Amino acid sequence: MISDDKITEFSQNKKINIKGNLFSLEKPVVMGILNITDDSFFDGGSYNTLDKALVRAENIINEGAEIIDIGACSTRPGAKLVEKEEEIQRLVPVVKEIRKRYPNIIISIDTVWADVVKAVADCGADIINDISGGQFDSNLFDEVAKQKLPYILMHTNTTPDRMQKEIHYDNLYLDMCKYFSEKINILKDKGVMDIILDLGFGFGKTLEMNYELLARQKEFSLFRLPILTGISRKSMIYRPLNLTPQDVISETMFLHALALGNGADILRVHDVKTTVNCLKLYEKFKVEGLKFNESGCGANFKI
Protein backbone atom coordinates (compact mmCIF):
# COMPACT_ATOMS: atom_id res chain seq x y z
CA MET A 1 0.00 0.00 0.00
CA ILE A 2 1.31 3.46 -0.87
CA SER A 3 1.83 5.64 2.21
CA ASP A 4 0.40 9.13 2.62
CA ASP A 5 3.95 10.52 2.52
CA LYS A 6 4.42 8.97 -0.90
CA ILE A 7 1.08 10.27 -2.11
CA THR A 8 1.88 13.86 -1.21
CA GLU A 9 4.72 13.80 -3.72
CA PHE A 10 2.16 13.83 -6.52
CA SER A 11 0.90 17.24 -7.62
CA GLN A 12 -2.73 16.61 -8.52
CA ASN A 13 -4.57 18.61 -11.16
CA LYS A 14 -7.56 20.00 -9.26
CA LYS A 15 -9.01 22.03 -12.14
CA ILE A 16 -10.82 20.98 -15.31
CA ASN A 17 -11.38 23.09 -18.40
CA ILE A 18 -15.07 23.39 -19.23
CA LYS A 19 -15.55 25.30 -22.49
CA GLY A 20 -12.70 27.67 -21.74
CA ASN A 21 -13.52 28.17 -18.06
CA LEU A 22 -11.51 26.52 -15.30
CA PHE A 23 -13.68 24.66 -12.80
CA SER A 24 -11.94 24.17 -9.48
CA LEU A 25 -12.02 20.95 -7.49
CA GLU A 26 -9.77 22.27 -4.75
CA LYS A 27 -12.79 21.62 -2.53
CA PRO A 28 -14.91 18.51 -3.20
CA VAL A 29 -18.20 19.04 -5.04
CA VAL A 30 -21.51 17.23 -5.36
CA MET A 31 -22.82 15.77 -8.62
CA GLY A 32 -26.59 15.19 -8.47
CA ILE A 33 -28.00 12.19 -10.32
CA LEU A 34 -30.87 12.65 -12.78
CA ASN A 35 -31.98 9.28 -14.15
CA ILE A 36 -34.48 9.67 -17.01
CA THR A 37 -34.88 5.91 -17.25
CA ASP A 38 -37.61 3.46 -16.35
CA ASP A 39 -35.36 0.90 -14.67
CA SER A 40 -32.56 2.49 -12.64
CA PHE A 41 -31.96 0.59 -9.41
CA PHE A 42 -33.06 3.37 -7.02
CA ASP A 43 -35.38 5.83 -8.77
CA GLY A 44 -36.23 4.22 -12.09
CA GLY A 45 -39.37 5.77 -13.60
CA SER A 46 -39.44 8.75 -11.23
CA TYR A 47 -38.10 11.26 -13.77
CA ASN A 48 -38.88 9.70 -17.15
CA THR A 49 -40.86 12.64 -18.56
CA LEU A 50 -39.59 16.11 -19.43
CA ASP A 51 -41.65 17.81 -16.71
CA LYS A 52 -40.53 15.36 -14.01
CA ALA A 53 -36.90 15.65 -15.13
CA LEU A 54 -37.03 19.44 -14.93
CA VAL A 55 -38.46 19.35 -11.42
CA ARG A 56 -35.66 17.00 -10.37
CA ALA A 57 -33.06 19.26 -12.03
CA GLU A 58 -34.41 22.30 -10.18
CA ASN A 59 -34.24 20.43 -6.88
CA ILE A 60 -30.68 19.26 -7.55
CA ILE A 61 -29.58 22.84 -8.21
CA ASN A 62 -31.48 24.37 -5.29
CA GLU A 63 -30.03 21.78 -2.91
CA GLY A 64 -26.48 22.81 -3.80
CA ALA A 65 -25.06 20.45 -6.43
CA GLU A 66 -22.59 22.00 -8.85
CA ILE A 67 -22.97 19.27 -11.49
CA ILE A 68 -26.02 17.41 -12.82
CA ASP A 69 -25.32 13.94 -14.21
CA ILE A 70 -28.06 12.90 -16.64
CA GLY A 71 -28.45 9.29 -17.69
CA ALA A 72 -30.90 7.74 -20.13
CA CYS A 73 -29.72 4.14 -19.78
CA SER A 74 -29.63 2.07 -16.62
CA THR A 75 -26.21 0.53 -15.94
CA ARG A 76 -27.21 -1.50 -12.90
CA PRO A 77 -25.87 -5.09 -12.85
CA GLY A 78 -27.81 -7.20 -15.33
CA ALA A 79 -29.12 -4.25 -17.36
CA LYS A 80 -28.91 -4.22 -21.16
CA LEU A 81 -27.64 -1.12 -22.91
CA VAL A 82 -30.14 1.19 -24.61
CA GLU A 83 -29.73 1.78 -28.35
CA LYS A 84 -28.06 5.08 -29.14
CA GLU A 85 -31.06 6.43 -31.07
CA GLU A 86 -33.37 5.90 -28.10
CA GLU A 87 -30.84 7.45 -25.76
CA ILE A 88 -30.61 10.56 -27.94
CA GLN A 89 -34.42 10.88 -28.07
CA ARG A 90 -34.58 10.75 -24.27
CA LEU A 91 -31.64 13.05 -23.59
CA VAL A 92 -31.79 15.90 -26.08
CA PRO A 93 -35.07 17.55 -24.95
CA VAL A 94 -34.00 17.38 -21.30
CA VAL A 95 -30.50 18.74 -21.90
CA LYS A 96 -31.78 21.57 -24.10
CA GLU A 97 -34.34 22.71 -21.54
CA ILE A 98 -31.99 22.46 -18.56
CA ARG A 99 -29.34 24.43 -20.43
CA LYS A 100 -31.94 27.07 -21.36
CA ARG A 101 -33.24 27.43 -17.80
CA TYR A 102 -29.93 27.08 -15.96
CA PRO A 103 -27.12 28.42 -18.17
CA ASN A 104 -24.48 28.15 -15.44
CA ILE A 105 -25.05 24.61 -14.19
CA ILE A 106 -22.51 22.02 -15.31
CA ILE A 107 -24.22 19.21 -17.22
CA SER A 108 -22.63 15.77 -17.33
CA ILE A 109 -24.04 13.07 -19.61
CA ASP A 110 -23.87 9.39 -18.79
CA THR A 111 -23.32 7.58 -22.12
CA VAL A 112 -21.12 5.04 -23.91
CA TRP A 113 -21.97 6.10 -27.50
CA ALA A 114 -20.10 8.53 -29.76
CA ASP A 115 -23.30 9.58 -31.55
CA VAL A 116 -24.85 10.51 -28.21
CA VAL A 117 -21.78 12.56 -27.32
CA LYS A 118 -22.19 14.60 -30.50
CA ALA A 119 -25.94 15.08 -29.97
CA VAL A 120 -25.66 16.27 -26.37
CA ALA A 121 -22.62 18.45 -27.06
CA ASP A 122 -24.65 20.26 -29.70
CA CYS A 123 -27.32 21.14 -27.13
CA GLY A 124 -25.17 22.19 -24.20
CA ALA A 125 -23.56 19.26 -22.35
CA ASP A 126 -20.28 19.97 -20.55
CA ILE A 127 -18.85 16.61 -19.44
CA ILE A 128 -19.07 13.01 -20.69
CA ASN A 129 -19.41 10.32 -18.03
CA ASP A 130 -18.63 6.94 -19.62
CA ILE A 131 -19.02 3.73 -17.64
CA SER A 132 -17.33 1.71 -20.41
CA GLY A 133 -13.89 3.31 -20.65
CA GLY A 134 -14.43 3.48 -24.41
CA GLN A 135 -14.86 -0.29 -24.68
CA PHE A 136 -18.34 -0.37 -26.26
CA ASP A 137 -17.88 2.20 -29.04
CA SER A 138 -14.51 2.53 -30.80
CA ASN A 139 -15.38 6.07 -31.91
CA LEU A 140 -16.19 7.42 -28.44
CA PHE A 141 -12.74 8.77 -27.52
CA ASP A 142 -12.42 10.49 -30.90
CA GLU A 143 -15.78 12.21 -30.50
CA VAL A 144 -15.00 13.37 -26.97
CA ALA A 145 -11.73 14.81 -28.28
CA LYS A 146 -13.51 16.48 -31.21
CA GLN A 147 -16.05 18.10 -28.90
CA LYS A 148 -13.31 19.19 -26.46
CA LEU A 149 -15.25 17.94 -23.44
CA PRO A 150 -13.89 16.71 -20.09
CA TYR A 151 -14.22 12.97 -19.73
CA ILE A 152 -14.95 10.72 -16.74
CA LEU A 153 -13.01 7.48 -17.18
CA MET A 154 -14.55 4.65 -15.19
CA HIS A 155 -13.11 1.21 -14.57
CA THR A 156 -15.26 -1.73 -15.59
CA ASN A 157 -14.52 -5.25 -16.75
CA THR A 158 -17.31 -5.77 -19.31
CA THR A 159 -20.93 -4.85 -20.13
CA PRO A 160 -23.47 -4.38 -17.29
CA ASP A 161 -25.36 -7.58 -18.15
CA ARG A 162 -22.16 -9.64 -17.67
CA MET A 163 -19.97 -7.67 -15.29
CA GLN A 164 -20.93 -9.48 -12.07
CA LYS A 165 -20.59 -12.88 -13.76
CA GLU A 166 -17.03 -12.36 -15.02
CA ILE A 167 -15.04 -11.07 -12.06
CA HIS A 168 -11.36 -11.96 -12.15
CA TYR A 169 -8.23 -9.96 -11.36
CA ASP A 170 -4.66 -11.11 -10.84
CA ASN A 171 -4.25 -8.12 -8.52
CA LEU A 172 -7.18 -5.72 -8.28
CA TYR A 173 -5.17 -2.55 -7.61
CA LEU A 174 -2.39 -3.26 -10.12
CA ASP A 175 -4.84 -4.43 -12.80
CA MET A 176 -6.85 -1.22 -12.38
CA CYS A 177 -3.71 0.92 -12.52
CA LYS A 178 -2.75 -0.77 -15.79
CA TYR A 179 -6.26 -0.16 -17.16
CA PHE A 180 -6.22 3.52 -16.22
CA SER A 181 -2.68 4.06 -17.47
CA GLU A 182 -3.45 2.59 -20.89
CA LYS A 183 -6.73 4.49 -21.28
CA ILE A 184 -5.25 7.80 -20.13
CA ASN A 185 -2.42 7.51 -22.64
CA ILE A 186 -4.88 6.82 -25.47
CA LEU A 187 -7.10 9.73 -24.46
CA LYS A 188 -4.22 12.19 -24.20
CA ASP A 189 -2.82 11.06 -27.55
CA LYS A 190 -6.21 11.94 -29.04
CA GLY A 191 -6.23 15.33 -27.33
CA VAL A 192 -8.48 14.67 -24.30
CA MET A 193 -6.63 16.42 -21.48
CA ASP A 194 -9.34 16.93 -18.85
CA ILE A 195 -9.87 13.47 -17.36
CA ILE A 196 -11.58 12.44 -14.12
CA LEU A 197 -11.17 8.92 -12.70
CA ASP A 198 -14.01 6.77 -11.37
CA LEU A 199 -13.02 3.47 -9.73
CA GLY A 200 -16.32 1.89 -10.76
CA PHE A 201 -17.72 0.73 -7.45
CA GLY A 202 -20.12 -2.14 -8.12
CA PHE A 203 -18.97 -2.60 -11.72
CA GLY A 204 -17.34 -6.01 -11.95
CA LYS A 205 -16.28 -6.10 -8.29
CA THR A 206 -17.19 -8.28 -5.36
CA LEU A 207 -18.41 -6.74 -2.12
CA GLU A 208 -14.97 -7.17 -0.58
CA MET A 209 -13.31 -5.53 -3.61
CA ASN A 210 -15.56 -2.49 -3.33
CA TYR A 211 -14.47 -1.91 0.26
CA GLU A 212 -10.83 -2.53 -0.58
CA LEU A 213 -11.06 0.15 -3.27
CA LEU A 214 -12.78 2.61 -0.96
CA ALA A 215 -10.01 2.10 1.60
CA ARG A 216 -7.26 2.46 -1.06
CA GLN A 217 -8.88 5.18 -3.16
CA LYS A 218 -6.24 7.76 -2.25
CA GLU A 219 -3.58 5.59 -3.85
CA PHE A 220 -5.07 6.34 -7.27
CA SER A 221 -3.92 9.94 -6.85
CA LEU A 222 -0.68 8.74 -8.44
CA PHE A 223 -2.38 9.58 -11.77
CA ARG A 224 -2.58 13.25 -10.71
CA LEU A 225 -6.23 13.41 -11.79
CA PRO A 226 -9.46 14.24 -9.92
CA ILE A 227 -11.37 11.27 -8.51
CA LEU A 228 -15.14 10.79 -8.66
CA THR A 229 -16.76 8.45 -6.15
CA GLY A 230 -20.10 6.87 -7.04
CA ILE A 231 -21.36 4.72 -4.19
CA SER A 232 -24.73 6.33 -3.44
CA ARG A 233 -27.24 3.76 -2.14
CA LYS A 234 -25.43 0.93 -3.96
CA SER A 235 -25.61 -2.76 -3.10
CA MET A 236 -22.22 -2.63 -1.36
CA ILE A 237 -24.08 -0.61 1.29
CA TYR A 238 -27.50 -2.20 1.56
CA ARG A 239 -26.81 -5.91 0.97
CA PRO A 240 -24.49 -6.51 3.94
CA LEU A 241 -27.18 -4.94 6.13
CA ASN A 242 -30.09 -6.85 4.53
CA LEU A 243 -31.73 -3.56 3.60
CA THR A 244 -32.93 -1.95 0.35
CA PRO A 245 -31.57 1.08 -1.57
CA GLN A 246 -34.40 3.15 -0.07
CA ASP A 247 -33.25 2.39 3.49
CA VAL A 248 -29.61 3.47 3.49
CA ILE A 249 -29.29 7.25 3.35
CA SER A 250 -27.39 7.54 6.67
CA GLU A 251 -25.21 4.57 5.79
CA THR A 252 -24.42 6.17 2.43
CA MET A 253 -23.40 9.41 4.17
CA PHE A 254 -21.06 7.45 6.43
CA LEU A 255 -19.28 6.00 3.42
CA HIS A 256 -19.26 9.40 1.70
CA ALA A 257 -17.30 10.70 4.69
CA LEU A 258 -14.80 7.86 4.29
CA ALA A 259 -14.56 8.60 0.56
CA LEU A 260 -13.81 12.28 1.24
CA GLY A 261 -11.07 11.32 3.66
CA ASN A 262 -9.63 9.01 1.05
CA GLY A 263 -9.34 11.53 -1.76
CA ALA A 264 -12.75 11.96 -3.42
CA ASP A 265 -13.07 15.21 -5.38
CA ILE A 266 -16.60 14.61 -6.71
CA LEU A 267 -19.39 12.70 -4.98
CA ARG A 268 -22.03 11.40 -7.42
CA VAL A 269 -25.21 11.16 -5.34
CA HIS A 270 -28.97 10.74 -5.20
CA ASP A 271 -29.36 12.71 -1.95
CA VAL A 272 -27.97 16.13 -2.78
CA LYS A 273 -28.96 18.22 0.24
CA THR A 274 -27.74 15.67 2.78
CA THR A 275 -24.45 15.22 0.93
CA VAL A 276 -23.91 18.98 0.68
CA ASN A 277 -24.31 19.14 4.47
CA CYS A 278 -21.85 16.27 4.82
CA LEU A 279 -19.36 18.27 2.73
CA LYS A 280 -19.83 21.35 4.91
CA LEU A 281 -18.95 19.34 8.01
CA TYR A 282 -15.98 17.79 6.22
CA GLU A 283 -14.65 21.26 5.36
CA LYS A 284 -15.21 22.35 8.97
CA PHE A 285 -13.23 19.31 10.08
CA LYS A 286 -10.33 20.36 7.85
CA VAL A 287 -10.45 24.03 8.81
CA GLU A 288 -10.17 23.17 12.48
CA GLY A 289 -6.76 21.66 11.74
CA LEU A 290 -7.75 18.05 12.23
CA LYS A 291 -6.59 15.37 9.86
CA PHE A 292 -7.18 11.76 9.01
CA ASN A 293 -4.88 9.01 10.20
CA GLU A 294 -1.72 8.09 8.32
CA SER A 295 -3.47 5.58 6.10
CA GLY A 296 -6.41 7.83 5.24
CA CYS A 297 -9.89 7.69 6.72
CA GLY A 298 -10.98 4.09 7.08
CA ALA A 299 -7.99 2.66 5.22
CA ASN A 300 -8.09 -0.48 7.37
CA PHE A 301 -11.86 -0.85 7.19
CA LYS A 302 -12.90 -4.34 6.14
CA ILE A 303 -16.16 -6.19 5.73
Tens digits of residue pLDDT in 238-296: 999 999 999 999 999 999 999 999 999 999 999 999 999 999 999 888 766 555 554 55
Mean pLDDT of the chain: 88
pLDDT of residue 8: 41
> What are the tens digits of pLDDT across the range 127-146?
999 999 999 999 999 999 99
List of long-range contacts for 40-43, beta carbons under 8 Å, 24+ apart: 40/71, 40/74, 40/76, 41/74, 41/76, 41/233, 41/234, 41/235, 41/245, 42/232, 42/233, 42/245, 42/246, 42/270, 43/270
> What are the tens digits of pLDDT across the range 153-189?
999 987 766 767 778 899 999 999 999 999 999 999 9
The contacts of residue 68 (CB under 8 Å, 6+ apart) are: 31, 32, 34, 57, 60, 61, 98, 105, 106, 107, 108
* Contact criterion met (CB below 8 Å) for 275 and 256: yes
Write phi, then psi, for 56 (nearest 5 degrees).
Answer: -60, -45
pLDDT of residue 1: 40
pLDDT at 88 over 90: yes
Q: Which domains does the chain have, with CATH numbers?
A: 28-287 (3.20.20.20)
Please state the separation of Cα 207 from the chain's center in Å.
Answer: 18
Q: Give the residue numbers marked as catalytic.
A: 234, 268
pLDDT of residue 18: 96
* Contact criterion met (CB below 8 Å) for 227 and 221: yes
